[in-house]
């Protein structure tokens, strides 16, 4: 699984004219599922998101996690994170898991983070979403359960 994680002051996800998720300070994670990922990947990513120490402590250092600080996590499924544009100009999404495999794993990430005591809001799987956020820092981190980076 791959994730782009942004520390945010606030975020909102809209589908059509409806707000499906809204949060204050915390982390926004765009999550892509790779073909062959399994429940273990979802567990690892959910725990990593809950304990990733990129929130500011009392001295302004990136030293606190969502689990410690009590912030919110917003999980937004995004298969385009698996786009491969090394050849040509049109990305290939062949590495992305099909929706019927990806959806339960994205839900697994949510359950794993919640099990760590983190409040979680989500986008809507397979929907065209409009994501609004105020990046805090900015702080952006890339995660990959396959440890490609």
Active-site entry in 6, 72, 78, 145: 78
The answer to whether 93 is a known catalytic residue is no
Give the integer Cα–Cα distance in Å for 111 and 120: 9
In total, the chain counts a number of residues equal to 149
Catalytic residue among 9, 19, 80, 140: 80
Beta-carbon contacts of 149 under 8 Å, excluding residues fewer than 6 positions away, are 142
Exactly one of 6, 72, 79, 122 is catalytic; name it: 79
- Annotated catalytic, 125? no
Strand spans (E) along the chain: 2-15, 18-23, 26-32, 55-56, 62-64, 72-77, 119-122, 129-144
Which residues make Cβ contacts (< 8 Å) with residue 147, sequence separation at least 6? Answer: none
Residue 79 annotated as catalytic: yes
Catalytic positions are 78-80
């Amino acid at each position: 699984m791959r994730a782009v994680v942004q520390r945010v002051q606030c975020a909102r996800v809209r589908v059509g004219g409806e707000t499906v998720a809204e949060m204050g300070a915390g982390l926004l994670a765009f999550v892509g599922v790779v073909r062959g990922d399994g429940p273990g990947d979802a567990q690892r990513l959910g725990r990593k998101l809950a304990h990733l120490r990129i929130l500011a402590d009392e001295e302004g250092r990136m030293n606190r996690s969502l689990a410690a600080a009590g912030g919110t996590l917003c999980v937004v499924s995004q298969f385009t994170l698996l786009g491969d544009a090394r050849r040509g100009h049109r990305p290939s999404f062949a590495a992305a898991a099909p929706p019927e495999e990806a959806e339960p794993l994205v839900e697994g990430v949510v359950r794993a983070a919640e099990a760590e005591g983190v409040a979680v809001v989500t986008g809507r799987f397979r929907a065209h979403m409009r994501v609004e956020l105020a990046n805090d820092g900015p702080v952006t981190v890339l995660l990959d359960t396959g440890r490609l980076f």
